[in-house]
Amino acid sequence: MGRAARTPIEVLLVDDQPAILAGVGALIGSEAPFLHLAGSAGCGRDALELARHLQPDIIVLDVELGGEDGLALIPRLRACCHAVIVLFSALAGTEGRLRVLQPDAAAFVSKEGEGRELIDAIRRAAARAGGESCGAGSGVLRP
């Protein structure tokens, strides 16, 4: 059965910049019916609450959340949902990438890249995690 007959990949977007939330949210929305923006959060507290409530398939997580360390949020997100995490950051170069590379994240995407790079990373993360049958609370898409 093709992807169109299945529920979309549910994405939670976490970034402290309203312009990023709006732009990337629209980008994800443009990929319907394959992707769906389940929710967005501007801080760690809201991200945890939404992750717990929405049980998204993928979390696109900013590494630096306006004074909060997005990486420190990963274990807490893992404790409340089983989403695959795609790190999203303005950190450039090798040093920035080394800081965010870790086994708890499926991918790293630079904010300086093309929007297609983020969409492709979300799709690859979902496929690698068993995203053949995705959807909020489906229990199928797991790291």
DSSP-assigned letters across all residues of 22-70: HHHHHHHHTTTTTEEEEEEESSHHHHHHHHHHH--SEEEEESEETTEEH
**111: closest CA among 126, 133, 123, 96?**
96
Homologous superfamily assigned to 10-133: Response regulator (3.40.50.2300)
What pLDDT, on the 0 to 100 scale, is given for residue 133?
Answer: 37
**Consecutive sets of 10 residues in the chain, 143 residues long: mean pLDDT of each?**
65 96 96 96 97 96 89 91 90 53 74 92 86 37 30
pTM of the model: 0.82
What ranges do the domains of the chain cover?
Answer: 10-133
What pLDDT, on the 0 to 100 scale, is given for residue 136?
Answer: 38
143 neighbors 129 (Cβ within 8 angstroms): yes
